[in-house]
Chains A and B, each alone.
Chain A
Amino acid sequence: MLDISGLSAGYDGSQVLFEVDLSIARGEVVTLLGRNGMGKSTLINTIAGILRPSAGQIRFDGAVIKGLPSYRVARHGIGLVPEGRQVFPNLTVRENLCATAADRFGQTKPWTIEAVLELFPGLSPRLESPGRLLSGGEQQMVAIGRALLTNPKLLILDEATEGLAPLVREEIWRCIERVKAMGQAILITDKNVKALSRIADRHYFLEKGRIALCCGSGALLDNPELRQRYLGV
């Protein structure tokens, strides 16, 4: 579904990504792993159209999306949960969710606000609270719900559980597993190798802006040298 080939990108003449190749099939969960500063967020921002690539190709569901503005990339079916969550602070939880709801592809069972509230029951009593008054965990739930309500073909989560309390993290992982079980294709970055290996089908390792390795969860768990070399854990 997502095919990236020879992708290079960077900021103001400083190249960060070098000839990245990556693919994600329908219903597949793929992770992007690597130490800080290796280009994970840059790659995600380039896929989402926030950053223009300098070379290479991005195809999504048969269409070339390279260089498209981010709102057109989103309309192709890519839903982004950004690093830092970026919930709209001046909108209530209900408004954050309502504003984004869109069934662009006529899905048989599109995401609705009720379905999001079922996934994140903790949001129900907070529906009329402004985004600025939410806890980090609640914000992340809103951010994920907001992305799901665009009924994406591919859900991207950048630093899915960063800065969250352990119990909240577990809840987020459980929800992501439920979303995966519905057949949702997902691209995730996070530092929790254990949770990622449980959820994901494949793992890409980024090192200095290049894809250094792609492996399954078995190899990731069974090979401490690999984790030490690419993740420092």
Chain B
Amino acid sequence: MLTSASRHGLATLLLLVALALLPPALNALGEPFYIGLGTRVLIFAIAAVSLDLILGYGGMVSLGHAAYLGVGAYTVGILSFYGVQNGFVHFLSAAAISALVALAIGANSVRTTGIHFIMISLAFGQMLYYLAVSVSQFGGDDGLNIDAQSAFGGLDLGDPTSLYYVSFCILVVVLFGLDRLVNSRFGMVLRAVKSNEPRVRTIGFSPYRYKLTAFVISGTICGIAGALLANQNLFISPASMHWGRSGEILIMTILGGMGTLSGAVVGSVVYISLEYFLSRLTEHWQAVMGPLIVLVVLFAGGGLVALLAGRRVAGAGSR
């Protein structure tokens, strides 16, 4: 008899195997176009998983998470603008600058909780959005075209399949790394902070340090997702940093199931697939998507992961 944790691990493994087999399956079906859609799913899955670290495990509801997606993407765009094409420089810079931005924002915002944290994260996110709008040198409101993908020697990110597998590998590393993190002592304290912050203090831990560390790790990972997004679109605009985009990442995380990591991947698969296919059926696709999300939230407290497992609570959302 498998334990809940074993079932969850097995389901995650099956999900990753399915994602790994997607490009050859699509090629076999003569639908290689959808590899690009799959890449978009993976990129947003990385962003949603990063949000899950602070939302599902740290209890921090961020409405400004897309800011890091934009910072990562703009880092690649601006480096390309100045003729730097080295992929290692692109991705390391995207991660480092996102980490610094997350550190600056987190140092101020993680002192707060609840509605105050939501408002501060929203305010910082929108500040960066308007900063991107105002910098006309890099396209301002119109956005910035990127001449070519990041160069990694023999690896051509211009090839949709290569970009898919690079995104997939990063997602696997992120999932594995964060799974280790949330089950480490650091993760235990972070989850304890989510449940009872004052109590954690009386045990001898400063919740601030734990929350800030998680916030910076989360922002860094989301910045890497932004670098991938810039490589996929070869275009970056302030819209990627708008709070509406943060809301979408939040919905993906909640839809799949907070505090599960793999739930964020499921949420991304479902949200982006529905967005794509519903928008082809009707221009009023949001009118269908909205009620669907409401139904999942109402009838699957632990998100789609818990719903698929046939139970409401599986540690999901409450970890």
- Does A11 have its Cβ within 8 Å of any Cβ on chain B? no
Q: Are the CB atoms of B195 and A70 closer together than 8 Å?
A: no
Closest Cβ–Cβ distance, residue B250 to chain A (whole Å):
20
Q: Are the CB atoms of B315 and A99 closer together than 8 Å?
A: no
CB within 8 A of A91: which of B191, B198, B207? B191
CA distance A95 to B196 in the complex (A): 14
- Does A100 have its Cβ within 8 Å of any Cβ on chain B? yes
CB within 8 A of B204: which of A82, A95, A102? A102
Count chain B residues whose beta carbon lies closer than 8 angstroms to a beta carbon of A. 21
Closest to A104 in B: B204
CA distance A150 to B189 in the complex (A): 14
- Does B113 have its Cβ within 8 Å of any Cβ on chain A? no
Cβ of A98: which chain B residues have Cβ within 8 Å of it? Answer: 185, 188
CA distance A96 to B318 in the complex (A): 15
Given contacts A90-B195, A90-B319, A91-B192, contact A99 B185 (CB under 8 A): yes
Q: Are the CB atoms of B203 and A150 closer together than 8 Å?
A: yes
Count chain A residues whose beta carbon lies closer than 8 angstroms to a beta carbon of B. 29
CA distance A90 to B185 in the complex (A): 14
Given contacts A89-B318, A91-B188, A130-B315, contact A48 B194 (CB under 8 A): no
CA distance A209 to B44 in the complex (A): 57
CA distance A74 to B207 in the complex (A): 13
Q: Are the CB atoms of A71 and B192 closer together than 8 Å?
A: no
Cβ of A203: which chain B residues have Cβ within 8 Å of it? Answer: none
Closest to A79 in B: B203
- Does A216 have its Cβ within 8 Å of any Cβ on chain B? no
Closest Cβ–Cβ distance, residue B301 to chain A (whole Å):
14
Q: Are the CB atoms of A69 and B195 closer together than 8 Å?
A: no
- Does B6 have its Cβ within 8 Å of any Cβ on chain A? no
Q: Which of A69, A70, A73, A102 has the most CB of B within 10 A?
A: A70
Cβ of B199: which chain A residues have Cβ within 8 Å of it? Answer: 82, 86, 88
B 297-319 binary contact with A (CB < 8 Å = 1; else 0): 00000000000000000010011
Cβ of B189: which chain A residues have Cβ within 8 Å of it? Answer: 99
Closest to A75 in B: B204
Which residue numbers of A lie inside 8 Å of B, CB to CB? 48-50, 69-71, 73-75, 79-80, 82, 86, 88-91, 95-96, 98-100, 102, 104, 130, 132, 146-147, 150
Q: Which 6 A-B pairs have the closest CB atoms?
A: A74-B204, A99-B188, A70-B201, A71-B201, A88-B192, A70-B202
Extra A-B contacts (17), CB below 8 Å, given A50-B202, A90-B192, A95-B191: A48-B202, A69-B206, A71-B202, A71-B206, A73-B202, A74-B203, A82-B199, A82-B202, A89-B195, A90-B191, A90-B315, A91-B188, A99-B189, A102-B204, A130-B315, A132-B318, A150-B204
